[in-house]
């Protein structure tokens, strides 16, 4: 081995390809031989790096959830510290971070809400917990921006906006506008959706 970074490369390479394949054909639709072939080794060679196929999925899902949560927390701290532009800036930062993730790691976003039930109980609980904390982080920020929005509808609104932002994998054809334009569009739509949710809740 050359450097420590290269040592972990093989593992990361496997995870990356596994994520792509899982997202394309589903966890049960992909065999270990295919995953091996995708990284140039074949079949059981994977078991030198992972105890099993389940472990790959678990590591992927836990990793995604953790990354989203820690990234979100970091953004809330940073954007909250400078305190410019009020609470709206914090929400903008959260949205921007989620869009970056959705656009850059499409397979992971797809897996994230599609294959959760294939996990062992303990792993699923962990992922669910991380996801819930991420949602609560958003709910707080959203209610900071729109104080008249009660908590239950705010939570539903956050889930709905996740659905909106995570829709990017579906329109993967090279027809649509460029990355920056897509990100701007999604950002505007998310803000508008939250604003309308608050407006509707205030009337009701």
Partner DNA sequence: GAAATGGGTTAACGAGCGCTAACCTGAGGG
Partner DNA sequence: CCCTCAGGTTAGCGCTCGTTAACCCATTTC
Site string for DNA, 37-66 (x = CB under 7 A): ----xxxxx-xxx-xxxx------------
The CA distance from 193 to 160, in Å, is 9
Stretch of 30-38, 93-101, 109-117, 130-138 contacting DNA, by CB under 7 A:
30-38
Cα-based angle 158, 159, 160 (whole degrees, multiple of 5): 90
Number of other residues whose CB lies within 10 A of the CB of residue 73: 13
Identify what 44 binds: DNA, a second copy, none; CB under 5 to 8 Å per kind: DNA
We find the least distance from the C-beta atom of residue 65 to DNA, in angstroms, to be 22
| Residue 144 found at the interface with a second copy (CB under 8 A) | no
The total number of residues shown for the chain amounts to 204
| Residue 100 found at the interface with a second copy (CB under 8 A) | no
Minimum CB distance to a second copy smaller for 46 or for 190: 190
Site string for a second copy, 145-174 (x = CB under 8 A): -------xx-xxx-xxxxxxxxx--xx---
User: Among 1, 81, 82, 171, which residue sits at the site for DNA (rule: CB under 7 A)?
Assistant: 1
| Residue 176 found at the interface with DNA (CB under 7 A) | no
Longest dimension (CA), the chain: 64
Minimum CB distance to a second copy smaller for 49 or for 159: 159
Two structure tokens written together for 149: 């929005």
| Residue 30 found at the interface with DNA (CB under 7 A) | yes
| Close Cβ partners of 79 (under 8 Å, ≥ 6 residues apart) | 89, 90, 92, 93
- Could you tell me how far CA 158 lies from the centroid of its own chain? 13
| Close Cβ partners of 95 (under 8 Å, ≥ 6 residues apart) | 161, 165, 186, 187, 190, 191
The CA distance from 112 to 165, in Å, is 13
We find the least distance from the C-beta atom of residue 48 to a second copy, in angstroms, to be 26
Q: By the criterion CB under 7 A, which residues form the site for DNA?
A: 1, 7, 10, 28, 30-33, 36, 41-45, 47-49, 51-54
């Amino acid at each position: 081995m050359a450097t420590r970074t290269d040592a972990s490369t093989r593992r990361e390479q496997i995870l990356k390809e596994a994520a792509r394949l899982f997202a394309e054909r589903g966890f049960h639709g992909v065999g270990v031989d295919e995953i091996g072939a995708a990284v140039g080794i074949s079949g059981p060679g994977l078991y030198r790096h992972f105890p099993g196929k389940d472990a790959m999925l678990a590591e992927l899902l836990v990793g995604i959830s953790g990354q989203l949560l820690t990234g979100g927390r970091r953004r809330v701290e940073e954007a909250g510290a400078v305190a410019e532009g009020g609470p709206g800036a914090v929400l903008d930062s959260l949205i921007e971070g989620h869009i970056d993730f959705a656009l850059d790691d499409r397979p992971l976003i797809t897996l994230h809400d599609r294959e959760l039930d294939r996990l062992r109980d303990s792993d699923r609980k962990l992922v669910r917990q991380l996801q819930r904390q991420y949602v609560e982080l958003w709910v707080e920020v959203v209610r900071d921006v729109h104080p008249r929005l009660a908590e239950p509808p705010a939570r539903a609104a956050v889930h709905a906006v996740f659905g909106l932002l995570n829709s990017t994998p579906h329109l993967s054809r090279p027809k649509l506008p460029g990355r920056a334009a897509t990100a701007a569009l999604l950002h505007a739509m998310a803000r508008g959706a939250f604003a309308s949710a608050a407006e509707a809740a205030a009337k009701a």
